[in-house]
Structure 1
Amino acid sequence: MMDTTEGSRQSTPEALQLHGSGHPDMILVGTLLTKHNYLTWSYAIKRALRAKMKLGVINGTTLKPSITDAHFEQWIRVDSMVMTWILNCISKEIVNGFISSLQSTEHIL
């Protein structure tokens, strides 16, 4: 589904839209990633991101636009939000190993 913002002739793909329910403090899954539960956690986080139509940001099917593309800034915002959601779902003991990544596609999914 495409959404056209008022005053804009370009449509924003659904994967690049952020909705009110997707705030930075959101924890997408009930179990934090630890050193011992990657498979379970990975399954849960992928399902949660798929439900929010953001899995493509992680698996590469929602490509990062070129810097001159009208959707570039929106992609950066969505990527930052997805990164925040992922970091919120990683235990404090191991989260520092992930913080230095520049974008969510550099993560473990």
Structure 2
Amino acid sequence: MIGEKKEVSRSKNGEETIDVNSPFYIYASEYHKQMQVNDMLNDNNFNDWKQEMMNFLLAKNKMGLVDGLIKKPEKTSGTYMTWMRADVMIKGWLTTTMERDIRTNVRFANISAEIWTDLEERFEKECAPRAYELKQSLNATR
């Protein structure tokens, strides 16, 4: 599984250390209420919000937790707590950038990947009719 390879180790005095290149690494300057995108997610801007959020998560090396590539480890795994801390941070980043009504609908998700999937299912279906309408308009213009 991705995330299991030497990303978390113990120092000589028993303290947990995380490789700075690990998706589980959280910098001291990062906090969950940090605003990461220019506009709050609302019913009209999902694609723009998603692109900005993906860029941010990729830059922070956290996209694998959101898109499900890095699965939640078993509770007995050595990376369980580091994975959980990183995921909670991501959940904070995601929900902080949403309007209240949207945030209320995703607040009970267990992991950030569930939030991401829920948003995609909710908003991308709503965008399909608009995309069809735009394609029809483009064809009529030609």
TM-score normalised by L of structure 2: 0.68
Structure 1 unaligned blocks of 5 or more: none
Distance in 2 between the 1:3 and 1:71 partners? Answer: 7
Q: Rate the CA distance shift 1:60–1:24 in 2: closer, same or farther, 3 A.
A: same
Give the Å deviation of 1:31: 0.8
Larger Rg: 2
Q: Give the residue type in structure 1 aligned to 2:38.
A: G
2:59 is matched with which residue? 51
Runs of 4+ in 1 over 3 A off after TM superposition: 1-5, 8-13
Alignment pair present for 1:61 and 2:69 = yes
**CA shift digits 1:47-95 (9 cap, x unpaired):** 1000000011101122211111111011111111100000001012321
Structure 2 unaligned blocks of 5 or more: 1-5, 118-142
Q: Give the residue type in structure 1 aligned to 2:82.
A: Q
Distance in 2 between the 1:72 and 1:94 partners? Answer: 28
Within a 5 Å distance, the mapping from 1:1-109 to structure 2 comes to 2=7, 4=9, 6-7=11-12, 12=18, 14-109=22-117
TM-score normalised by L of structure 1: 0.87
Percent identity between the two aligned chains: 20
Q: Give the residue type in structure 2 aligned to 1:31.
A: D
Q: Rate the CA distance shift 1:85–1:98 in 2: closer, same or farther, 3 A.
A: same
Query: What is the DSSP-based 3-state SS (H/G/I as helix, E as strand, rest coil) of the residue aligned with 2:84?
Result: helix
Q: Rate the CA distance shift 1:9–1:25 in 2: closer, same or farther, 3 A.
A: closer
Aligned residue pairs total 109
